[in-house]
Amino acid sequence: DMVNDPNGPRYIDGLYHLFFQHRRLPSYTEIAHATSPDLLHWTMAPRAVLEPDELYDDAGVWSGNSFELPDGRVGMAY
């Protein structure tokens, strides 16, 4: 596995959230998600936030960013 390109950090309800590229060798790159209460100890989410599901991203989902929507939800673009 390869982890790189941290992006879209957020602080929500006492937890830091970090999104990053995660390459599940040898298949594809996805946007993964980890959380931390203190920026030292991290827990990786069991599923990718964004993974390839269309022809245009079948080689992988690459760098993106997160943003807060007017209703408080977090949106992502890549």
Is there a catalytic annotation at residue 5? yes
Alpha carbons 43 and 36: distance in angstroms, whole number = 6
From 5, 53, 58, 71, active-site residue: 5
Q: Please provide the distance, in angstroms rounded to a whole number, between the alpha carbons at the two ends of the chain.
A: 21
Q: How far does CA 60 lie from the centroid of its chain?
A: 13
**Residues with catalytic annotation?**
5
